[in-house]
Structure 1
Amino acid sequence: MYKILLMNIFRAMVPDTVYKRADVIPYEELKSQGKTCILFDFDNTLGPDHATAPDKYAFDIIAKVRELGFKCCLVSNAKSGRSAGIAEKLDIPCVTYAHKPRPVGIFRAMEKMSATPDETVMIGDQVFTDVIAGRLAGVYTIMVERYSSKEIWYVVLKRPLEKIVRLVARY
């Protein structure tokens, strides 16, 4: 019984796909697979950790996915002021205080975007927040390498554990 539980927990830590950066994801392929909604983490996925405004990189990615017809939304554990400000500048909706790795923020974003799990993709840089939340919500998960090496202390503490998971899972 414990073995099954551990296997299920481990499975929740393995994304469906891994890419170097969010700008190299083949969004056209996702579209051809019936995906219509993309949920993005912001910190170290679309921009530097704890940035207060999006940069050209984030604007370019959002423009690209919109051009392809995707609905997109930020899903962030960050406080509403900073995240909402970033989302407003990107002109996309936002779910703040998402409580990742719990899937509640993903569900709220899907409801906001009128999307189902089968249509939705979660893109983020952390196993223990973005990937697990997406997997528990039943959406397609994509993990990207972190945008910047600058991170808040509690994320720095999690990175060695992520490295172990990635080595064991071979991604």
Structure 2
Amino acid sequence: MNIFKAMKPEKVYRNLKQIPWSELKSSGIDTALLDFDNTLGKDHATEPEEFSFECIKMIKELGIRCCLVSNAKSGRSAKIAEMLGVPCVTYANKPGTSGVLKAIALMETTADKSVMVGDQVFTDVIAGNRSGCRTFMVEKLYKSEIWYVLLKRPFEKLVRLVGKF
């Protein structure tokens, strides 16, 4: 896969609530693979917030199953996933494909029936695209981020400018 194609999401939304989940369900999507940090909740939060619960409920009510796919350590991610009532793949190694493919297997589905959603080009979008999923990007929920994510954002901004997304 061309690296520039791998970096471009199918579409960018303001947040998870803006994604047309019912249309996705109608098109055959049965599983949402979701990043947590700055997608469903605050970066490095130790528990979900109201927005997190609302999004998961909204997606599940449409008959789409959810799975967290996180590069975070297993303890924090597993606790958050348990509180949200969804399975989780930790140490997902995004932009590698191993975590996304593990989540697809865990959910007993296929890549073409899955959508990967996250706030970062260099992790979520690339991992989803390389795994064969439909891939959506959401704008980050909060300005505050850990230092190593902040370092990537200017490069991401350049990629988004060149890629027009």
Equivalent residue, structure 2, for 1:131 = 125
1:67-112 per-position Cα deviation (integer Å, ceiling 9, x unaligned): 0001110000000000000000001000000000001000000000
Aligned to 1:60: 54
Cα distance in 2 for residues equivalent to 1:110 and 1:154? 27
Structure 2 residues not aligned, in runs of 5+ = none
Aligned to 1:82: 76
Query: Could you tell me how far apart the structure 1 residues matched to 2:17 and 2:44 are?
Result: 20
| Deviations 1:51-82, CA, capped at 9 Å, x for gaps | 00001100000001110001110000000000
Is 1:20 equivalent to 2:21 in the alignment?
Answer: no
1:122 aligns with 2:142: no
Alignment pair present for 1:113 and 2:123: no
Larger Rg: 1
What amino acid is aligned across from residue 82 of structure 1 in structure 2? R
Q: Could you tell me which residue of structure 2 aligns to residue 155 of structure 1?
A: 149
For residues 128 and 32 of structure 1, what CA distance do their matches in structure 2 show? 29
Q: Distance in 1 between matches of 2:151 and 2:4?
A: 19
| Structure 1 stretches lacking a partner, 5+ long | none
Q: Which residue identity does 2:106 align to in structure 1?
A: K
Determine the C-alpha separation between the residues in 1 that align with 2:80 and 2:118.
16
Partner Cα distance (2:12, 2:23) in 1: 14
Q: Percent identity?
A: 58
Distance 1:82 1:92 in 2: 14
Q: Distance in 2 between matches of 1:141 and 1:27?
A: 13
Cα distance in 2 between the residues matched to 1:149 and 1:36: 31
Residue 28 of structure 2 aligns with which residue?
34
Q: How many residues align?
A: 165
**Residue 104 of structure 1 pairs with residue 98 of structure 2:** yes
Cα displacement (A) at 1:24: 1.1
Name the TM-score, length of structure 1 as normaliser: 0.95
Q: How big is each residue's C-alpha offset from its partner over 1:110-162, in whole Å with a ceiling of 9 and x where there is no partner?
A: 00000101100000000000000000000000000001000000000000000
Give, in whole Å, the separation in 1 of the partners of 2:60 and 2:50: 15
